[in-house]
């Protein structure tokens, strides 16, 4: 195969010319080549050089009038940006590993040795940038066939490949998820047999790959592989604990692991937001810890939304996920995820709607997206009926918000005004009065405006024996 037509650009022609002038051999390798063939966009170009990678990077940058080049001499690499494309140069290398580290011992090597060290056959493809063979594909491991058959396979023995660098196991699942490929049977077995090797990988690197799996079009594909190979058990036991169905006295509950995956896929049809997808993953995370059996009603999971919200912080901390507003956002959605469902099942009162708007604030639309995704059943009529009722709740939310304006509620009467009205010192009673005004607005006793709130405050003052 020749891909000359795909690399007829200023960048590649310049690399080819500068390589020739400096008696170097250069090749495009890895993901960029794969993505050309799959017709996927790619902004990262890796150039392997037989000879001096740093020298070629410097001279190519000069020829392209690129002013800023980053040199990483310890790693033998150099990189620069050209027309929104990240270009990295590295000398061809071979690698060997020690048992307790994924950091290889690196030596200069041939192109074949460089391709040997690649994680998968579809990432070992190279395109020649040399003048006489410009555009020709070098494919020693039949990566082109694997691309055509949609297979993830390692160039060498998968047991050695995964044991040497266990992060490649997460990458295998990630590529299978992103590309919709199958993992070749020997590689799949090697994932299981080497799962415990993940212990030498940092949580940051694991979570980076996991987040890419979560952002795939259908994330459940990746999670099922992670679960079946026991990779998920190594770093996310709270999620694997969701798996399984108990049956007592003929009563059972649904498998909360597969339910969670269904909710995750459902929500992924409507959002690319990573943290909203994380909310789907976490929404039932506390069900194993709150599960109880009652002969009359069967299994219950009372309070799983509150406990789940409390669990989010510990899980995020351990997985090295951000402990900032993103975590608080996930906590909020987990805590509130049953509230809209309860409205669908019961009477949709203005008071209940106001309270939901007050607590959810600007995240109300995301909460409704999560709750809509949480409607799962094998009975399509039941799902449709529930979703129709859900639309009524959505409409009610809009109507009440337009009328009462309680999203991101701010008290119409401030604490300072309460102090001034009754000649008080800052004290507990001031907070209590503010809270009573808020509750009256949320309950619909008074309207959300200054005049009504102030009149109500004066009445409260009389009740509490205060004088203005």
CATH of the domain at 80: 3.30.460.10
- Asked if residue 105 and residue 21 are part of one domain, the reply reads yes
User: DSSP state, 181?
Assistant: P
- Asked if residue 244 and residue 218 are part of one domain, the reply reads no
Looking at 144, 179, 208, which one is the last position of a domain? 144
- Rounded Cα distance between 129 and 326, Å, is 44
Helix %, strand %, coil % of the chain (to 5): 55, 10, 30
- Asked if residue 72 and residue 176 are part of one domain, the reply reads no
- Rounded Cα distance between 436 and 442, Å, is 10
pLDDT in 10s for each residue of the chain, 468 residues:
778 888 889 999 999 999 999 999 999 999 999 999 999 999 999 999 997 789 999 999 999 999 999 998 878 899 999 999 999 999 988 766 566 666 656 668 889 989 988 999 999 999 999 999 999 999 999 999 999 999 999 999 999 999 989 999 999 999 999 999 999 999 999 999 999 999 999 999 999 999 999 999 999 999 999 999 999 999 999 999 999 999 998 888 999 999 999 999 999 999 999 999 999 999 999 999 999 999 888 999 999 999 999 999 999 999 999 999 999 999 999 999 998 887 876 667 888 888 888 899 889 999 999 998 998 877 777 778 777 877 888 888 888 888 877 777 788 899 999 999 988 888 999 999 999 998 898 888 988 899 999 999 999 988 888 877
Q: What are phi and psi of 396, to 5 degrees?
A: -60, -40
Question: H helices within 274-324, ranges in order?
Answer: 274-282, 287-290, 304-318
Has residue 118 been placed in a domain? yes
What CATH code is carried by the domain that includes residue 155? 1.10.110.30
- Burial string for 200-239 (b: 16+ CB within 10 Å, else e) reads ebeeebbbebbebbbbbeebbbbbbbbbebbbbbbbbebb
396: left (phi over 0), alpha (psi -120 to 50) or beta: alpha
- Asked if residue 247 and residue 226 are part of one domain, the reply reads no
Has residue 409 been placed in a domain? no
- Residue 320 sits at the vertex; the CA angle it makes with 308 and 119, to the nearest 5 degrees, is 120
- Rounded Cα distance between 186 and 419, Å, is 74
- Asked if residue 434 and residue 384 are part of one domain, the reply reads no
Give strand pairing partners of 182: 151
Has residue 407 been placed in a domain? no
- Asked if residue 108 and residue 58 are part of one domain, the reply reads yes
- Rounded Cα distance between 43 and 49, Å, is 19
- Asked if residue 180 and residue 140 are part of one domain, the reply reads no
Do residues 318 and 343 lie in contact, with contact meaning Cβ atoms separated by under 8 Å? no
What CATH code is carried by the domain that includes residue 240? 1.10.3210
- Rounded Cα distance between 389 and 383, Å, is 10
Q: What is the pTM of this model?
A: 0.87
Number of separate domains in the chain: 4
For helices 428-442 and 450-463, angle between their N-to-C axes, nearest 10 degrees? 130
- Asked if residue 376 and residue 258 are part of one domain, the reply reads yes
Which residue range(s) make up the domain with 426? 415-463
- Asked if residue 199 and residue 273 are part of one domain, the reply reads no
- Asked if residue 257 and residue 116 are part of one domain, the reply reads no
- Asked if residue 278 and residue 359 are part of one domain, the reply reads yes
Do residues 4 and 135 lie in contact, with contact meaning Cβ atoms separated by under 8 Å? yes
Has residue 468 been placed in a domain? no
Helix (H) / strand (E) containing 208: helix 203-214
- Give the total residue count for the chain: 468
- Asked if residue 221 and residue 236 are part of one domain, the reply reads no
Looking at 191, 212, 231, which one is the last position of a domain? 231
Looking at 144, 166, 183, which one is the last position of a domain? 144
Residues 6+ apart with CB under 8 A from 253: 245, 246, 291, 298, 299, 301
């Amino acid at each position: 195969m020749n891909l000359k037509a795909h690399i007829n650009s200023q960048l590649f022609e310049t690399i080819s010319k500068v390589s020739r002038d400096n008696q170097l051999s250069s090749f495009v390798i890895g993901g960029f080549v794969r993505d050309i063939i799959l017709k996927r966009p790619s902004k990262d170009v890796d150039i392997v050089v037989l000879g001096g990678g740093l020298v070629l990077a410097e001279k190519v940058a000069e020829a392209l009038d690129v002013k800023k080049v980053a040199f990483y001499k310890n790693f033998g690499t150099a990189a620069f940006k050209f027309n929104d494309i990240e270009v990295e140069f590295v000398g061809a290398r071979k690698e060997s590993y020690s048992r307790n580290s994924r950091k290889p011992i690196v030596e200069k090597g041939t192109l074949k040795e460089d391709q040997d060290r690649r994680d998968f056959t579809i990432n070992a493809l190279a395109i020649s940038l040399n003048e006489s063979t410009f555009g020709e594909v070098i494919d020693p491991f039949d990566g082109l066939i694997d691309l055509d058959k949609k297979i993830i396979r390692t160039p060498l023995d998968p047991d050695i490949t995964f044991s040497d660098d266990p992060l490649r196991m997460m990458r295998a699942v990630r590529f299978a998820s992103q590309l919709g490929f199958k993992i070749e049977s020997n590689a799949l077995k090697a994932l299981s047999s080497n799962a415990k090797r993940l212990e030498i990988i940092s949580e940051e690197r694991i979570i980076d790959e996991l987040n890419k799996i979560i952002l795939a079009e259908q994330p459940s594909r990746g999670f099922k592989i992670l679960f079946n190979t026991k990779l998920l058990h190594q770093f996310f036991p709270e999620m694997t604990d969701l798996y399984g169905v108990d049956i007592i006295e003929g009563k059972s509950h649904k498998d909360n692991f597969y339910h969670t995956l269904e909710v995750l896929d459902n929500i992924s049809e409507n959002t690319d937001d990573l943290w909203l997808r994380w909310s789907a993953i976490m929404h039932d995370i506390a069900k194993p810890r709150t599960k109880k059996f009652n002969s009359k009603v069967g299994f219950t999971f009372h309070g799983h939304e509150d406990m789940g919200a409390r669990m989010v912080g510990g899980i995020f901390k351990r997985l090295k996920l951000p402990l900032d507003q993103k975590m608080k956002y996930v906590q909020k959605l987990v805590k509130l995820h049953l509230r809209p469902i309860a409205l669908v099942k019961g009477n949709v009162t203005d008071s209940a709607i106001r309270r939901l708007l007050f607590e959810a604030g600007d995240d109300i639309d995301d909460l409704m997206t999560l709750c809509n995704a949480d409607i799962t059943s094998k009975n399509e009529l039941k799902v449709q009926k529930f979703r129709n009722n859900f639309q009524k709740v959505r409409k009610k939310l809009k109507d009440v918000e337009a009328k009462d304006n309680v999203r991101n509620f701010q008290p119409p009467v401030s604490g300072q005004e309460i102090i001034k009205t009754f000649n008080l010192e800052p004290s507990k009673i001031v907070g209590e009065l503010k809270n009573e005004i808020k509750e009256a607005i949320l309950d619909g006793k008074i309207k959300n405006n200054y005049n009504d709130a102030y009149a109500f405050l004066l009445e409260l003052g009389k009740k509490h024996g205060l004088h203005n």
